[in-house]
Structure 1
Amino acid sequence: MRNLPNAGPGAAEPTIELQRRVMIAATVGTVIEWYDFFMYISVASAISVNFFSGDNPVWANVFALLTFGTGYLVRPFGALVFGRIGDMIGRKQTFLTTILMMGFATVAVGLVPSYASIGLWAPSILILLRMIQGLALGGEYGGAATYIAEHAPQGRRGWLTSWLQTSAPIGFVLSMLSVYLMRASMTPEAFNDWGWRILFISSVLPLAISVWIRLKLQESPLFLKMKNEGTLSKSPISDTLRAWPNLKRVLIAMFAMVVPQSVLLVGAQIYSLVFLTGTAKVDPQIASLLVGAALMLTLPVMIFFGWLSDRYGTKIFILAACVIGTFTYLPLYKALTFYANPALYTAQAVVPVTVAADASECSFQFNPVGTAKFTTGCDIAKNALIRFGAPYSTRSEAKGAVATVFVGARAIPVATAGQAPDVAAFTGKLKLALEEAGYPNRADPGAMNFGMIILVLAALSTVAGMIFGPLASAMTDLFPPQVRYTSVSFSYHVGNGYFGGLLPAIAAAFQIASGDIYAGLYYLMVVSAISFFLGLFWLRSGPAAAKVPSVATAAA
């Protein structure tokens, strides 16, 4: 990294009251921005119905999740654009810009015509709006973390920034609660038709609140000090990415801090909701309440680990979370299935389903826009099982063999040898066989153990919270103030966008392709294991705040 001038001493350290006010204001504004962003995943089922082909509802849902992922993919670009503005012009003005962009895109989603009305234009416009949301959020988190950290003295950064970390879970819970109340007020048909649109359009109210909050904030004292002394970076993007000393910090933050946090947090909070509703077949309203209850239960955990990081550093918590996540997420998800849908858990264990077919007839059935047709016996069998939500395994047979589904020992051929498949007849027989084997159409609320479901979900969030709580402090401490906004934002959003953001879609696709309802978790486990070894060698030990400048002393 080129030599950035020393910011020098002399900036007065903010009072405790000002630190608290800054923390509350920045956190509340960020909660509202996350609320807008997460509203999409909370109504993903309605989005899939309105914006994607109905040829295969399951794959339409996967494509809706991929569209959710695009909001993550563009966040690194937003991080560079708004990080540069934040490091050169100021933190406060950037806050106002990002929240206005987020609000515009959120309201616009509620106004886009459906696939039935304008065809492929509908998902195209939706993707564009999600990208605008992602760009806005790309400049949000790093700015909020930097803003709070630059008002925090040494020994309190972990504590104060950990409150910011609660903004994403709170925003997620608020979005789910809003959806729950809206669903409860109307029929499912009405919600899927127009009710979900009200949620997006009405977000203009929290947008106004957030703008009002941002207008009351003052600029960071450390930024003003650097501006007055002429020590601001003239090229924050170049200083972040082209010079090795800071690029090395970016890579450390990205792969040893953000990536494991991202997959563990998305796996605990977002994918768990997708899994409960899509795989375990829990009613969406019940699933939202369960996930929301678990998240609120574990919010203090994030603050607690942020507080601990001021004393012991973050390395020990990051490594512990990676190890625990690698070995516990799979059994925890199996426990989630057991407590949420015991009939499904028992059926797949006692009466497993197998597709026996010529491997050359089995294709990867990705067809969200409804342009391809799957007519081979294997594809017909898998497509039917996907629609019924039944987990299955695949067995390769001799070339030309008639595809057959085995429900336990019961064989259901797709067609009679030498004849074309009768899809309707086969589907009816398969549905009856699955019902008789105990595979449920939906989870029975009366059989659910709600307390244990919440505890399992809380355990998942606790593991993620070990990293997420102290993350903002660790990242802001790692970078010099002249490029802090850009560096923190870019590191955070690349790690989140390209690893955690795509996790729900990747996991769902793996699950559908393999028939194994837990297949997507292997991606999470591998990433966590790799991050452990990277963190073991790259991360420094001990409290980070003791090694970096406070607001009163900023070193280049």
Structure 2
Amino acid sequence: MAVGTTVPIADEAARPMSAGEKKVILASSLGTVFEWYDFYLYGSLAAIIGAQFFSAYPEATRNVFALLAFAAGFLVRPFGALVFGRLGDMVGRKYTFLVTILIMGVSTFVVGLLPSYATMNEYGVGWVAPVALLALRMLQGLALGGEYGGAAVYVAEHAPRGRRGFYTAFIQTTATLGLLLSLMVILFTQIYVNANYAPVVVTAADGTTSTLTPFASWGWRIPFLVSIVLLGISVWIRLQMQESPAFKKMKEEGTGSKAPLSEAFGQWRNAKWALFALLGLVAGQAVVWYTGQFYALFFLQTILKVDQFTANVLIAWSLILGTGGFLFFGSLSDRIGRKPIILGGCVIAALTFFPLFKALTAAANPALYAAQQNTQVVVKADPADCSFQFNPVGTAKFTNTCDIAKALLARSAVNYRTEDAPAGSKAIVNIAGKDFAAGEPTFAKDVSAALTASGYPAATDPGIVKIAIDPKDGLSNFAKVIDIFSAQKLTIIGILTILVLYVTMVYGPIAAALVELFPTRIRYTSMSLPYHIGNGWFGGLLPATAFAMVAQTGDIYFGLWYPIVIALATAVIGAIFVPETKDRDIFTYDDAPAR
């Protein structure tokens, strides 16, 4: 079918997918899966990487720093969108793809080679390790900032009218499939390394020693190093791709933009649609997405004390069961529209996050859930002594007695409330009527004992969901991924799958909706920036922000207010200002479609 040929939407929707269209989708999707795999490795291994590169800080602060380093890759994504979006609109979609995949693949491989803080500190330059890690994360973010918009535009410009939602939904599956691939590689590596190599004894700066599994010590690097193979496959795939027909026709007619950045964002008639896309579509989609996948994984491991292997297996099953929702909702959006599905998903998610995460707690760690209901814990402290434990530059160590008390309780997943104490007084933790003074030599030990006596479970509590593996069994442990047929595990997978379905609902139609808002000449630039501000900033900062909110308030669910408020705001703004776009002709070169 020649570009520009008019075909009735009904006929286009009815015809089968051609071999050429299948090749376009496959080539775009596979390369993007590998790129998301690279990016998600860090998110999946954030706790281990935090221990390797931020070991100079206390555990609670280390977790925040690790999540912030993860978020750093998201923070620079809008800048990547500007740089590569401009290239994509001026030079072409295909060659921009090649540059982004090369930057992503090489920077991910180098993370696997990067010396830890402890290693660099032997030479007196321990700070180099976290700084280098941060730089590599930013390179990954820049590359990903140029990746998504190009893939979405490329597929949409090949798709027949009336089926853009369905075709671009294949691109939407790549983020989840990339996460699933990273989880599977991590699980396989973890099982193999821990079965065949001895634990490693490490000595901290204060002289204390601890024992790490070989995976936590050095095996975590293998999934990063493996990415060099995926990079080779991705480059080969992208070399087989042809340029977008819409872009080629635009170049032949000489109607391309000579200054896509200024045209897209310097002219209000175009810039306003980028703003509406950000606030009325993408921001809510982003927080629902990251809550359903990343924060759910973080919540299981850090708050509910589920071991890494079990948490990864449960999340992986929810992704397997829920991923088909991307194609379902993408196709549905071709029939009923993009807006009702995306905004409806935001509203449904916002209304149900609290009950779903409480149900997740009750199923995954029932003793913790019961203790939170039955044990009253109060922190009595001078308000001036309490900090908001969110420090992106790493200059504070949170050593006030109030901070010490809250950090200990947050690590133990304790729900507590705070009462003001006289100015200058030291913080006191009251557990079931008994006081413990923060800062005392035995404070942590005494509080832990009191919490245990009150019903708070240890990480080894048998009631916590667990898929048991034995390092001596080697790779046969991999068969344990199907050890899910118990009421507890199936309940958790069911809850997680609902969260993933919310993700598919808001994310499945988003690429088509964004492509249709902007003209061909500035489409790559225009759609990339709001997408990456929304997902990079609103979404990428969600885990670190939610964790800090939990530590500040003493409520393990309080961090959910962040995605809830943003999702509801998006639903309101989108309903008022964002037009329905499913029937638009995207082959428009001189101006945006009539609105």
- When normalised by structure 1's length, the TM-score is 0.93
2:104 and 2:373 map into 1 onto residues whose CA distance is 46
Tell me if structure 2 keeps the 8 A contact 1:151–1:551.
Answer: no
SS of the residue aligned with 2:435? strand
Q: Find the counterpart in structure 1 of residue 242 from structure 2.
A: 218
Give the 3 Å change call, closer, same or farther, for CA 532–205 of structure 1 in structure 2.
same
2:461 equivalent to 1:422? no
Tell me if structure 2 keeps the 8 A contact 1:358–1:396.
Answer: yes
Deviation at 1:42, TM superposition (A): 1.0
| Number of aligned residue pairs | 541
Give the 3 Å change call, closer, same or farther, for CA 10–387 of structure 1 in structure 2.
closer
Give the alignment of 1:245-284 within 5 angstroms: 245-284=269-308
The counterpart of 2:21, out of the listed 19, 22, 25, is: 19
SS of the residue aligned with 2:257? coil
2:186 equivalent to 1:179? yes
1:312 and 1:370 map into 2 onto residues whose CA distance is 48
The counterpart of 1:85, out of the listed 84, 87, 110, is: 87
Q: Cα RMSD over matched residues?
A: 2.3
2:311 equivalent to 1:287? yes
Q: Find the counterpart in structure 1 of residue 57 from structure 2.
A: 55
Letter in 2 for 1:486: T
2:384 equivalent to 1:377? no
Deviation at 1:258, TM superposition (A): 0.9
SS of the residue aligned with 1:411? strand
Q: Find the counterpart in structure 2 of residue 170 from structure 1.
A: 177
SS of the residue aligned with 1:440? coil
2:292 and 2:94 map into 1 onto residues whose CA distance is 32
Give the 3 Å change call, closer, same or farther, for CA 352–360 of structure 1 in structure 2.
same
SS of the residue aligned with 1:545? coil
Structure 1 residues 21-57: Cα deviation after superposition (integer angstroms, max 9, x where no partner): 1111101110000000001011111110111034311
Give the alignment of 1:153-552 within 5 angstroms: 153-187=160-194, 188-366=212-390, 372=396, 374-414=398-438, 421-423=439-441, 425-442=442-459, 444=461, 447-448=464-465, 449-541=488-580, 544-550=581-587
Structure 1 residues 225-255: Cα deviation after superposition (integer angstroms, max 9, x where no partner): 1111111111111111011111111112111
Using the aligned pairs only, state the percent identity. 48
Gaps of 5+ in 1: 1-6, 415-420
The counterpart of 1:116, out of the listed 105, 111, 118, is: 118
The answer to which of 375-384 and 362-371 deviates more is: 362-371
Deviation at 1:545, TM superposition (A): 3.2
2:460 and 2:177 map into 1 onto residues whose CA distance is 27
Deviation at 1:117, TM superposition (A): 2.5
Give the 3 Å change call, closer, same or farther, for CA 481–517 of structure 1 in structure 2.
same
Structure 1 residues 101-156: Cα deviation after superposition (integer angstroms, max 9, x where no partner): 00110001111111112211111111110110001001100000000001011111
Tell me if structure 1 keeps the 8 A contact 2:84–2:145.
Answer: yes
Structure 1 residues 461-485: Cα deviation after superposition (integer angstroms, max 9, x where no partner): 2122211011111111111011111
Tell me if structure 1 keeps the 8 A contact 2:415–2:556.
Answer: yes
Give the 3 Å change call, closer, same or farther, for CA 16–53 of structure 1 in structure 2.
same
Give the 3 Å change call, closer, same or farther, for CA 362–491 of structure 1 in structure 2.
closer
2:85 equivalent to 1:46? no
1:431 and 1:354 map into 2 onto residues whose CA distance is 14
Q: Find the counterpart in structure 2 of residue 4 from structure 1.
A: none
Give the 3 Å change call, closer, same or farther, for CA 352–183 of structure 1 in structure 2.
farther
Letter in 2 for 1:438: G
Q: Find the counterpart in structure 1 of residue 69 from structure 2.
A: 67
Gaps of 5+ in 2: 121-125, 195-211, 466-487
1:212 and 1:134 map into 2 onto residues whose CA distance is 22
Tell me if structure 1 keeps the 8 A contact 2:546–2:558.
Answer: yes
2:389 and 2:575 map into 1 onto residues whose CA distance is 40
Tell me if structure 2 keeps the 8 A contact 1:11–1:552.
Answer: no
Deviation at 1:305, TM superposition (A): 0.6
Q: Find the counterpart in structure 2 of residue 3 from structure 1.
A: none
Deviation at 1:222, TM superposition (A): 1.1
The answer to which of 275-284 and 399-408 deviates more is: 399-408
- When normalised by structure 2's length, the TM-score is 0.87
Letter in 2 for 1:453: I
1:506 and 1:371 map into 2 onto residues whose CA distance is 18
Tell me if structure 2 keeps the 8 A contact 1:56–1:368.
Answer: no
1:106 and 1:279 map into 2 onto residues whose CA distance is 28
2:6 and 2:84 map into 1 onto residues whose CA distance is 25
Give the 3 Å change call, closer, same or farther, for CA 440–245 of structure 1 in structure 2.
same
Structure 1 residues 446-504: Cα deviation after superposition (integer angstroms, max 9, x where no partner): 55311111111111121222110111111111110111111111121011111001001
Deviation at 1:540, TM superposition (A): 2.1
1:555 and 1:252 map into 2 onto residues whose CA distance is 14
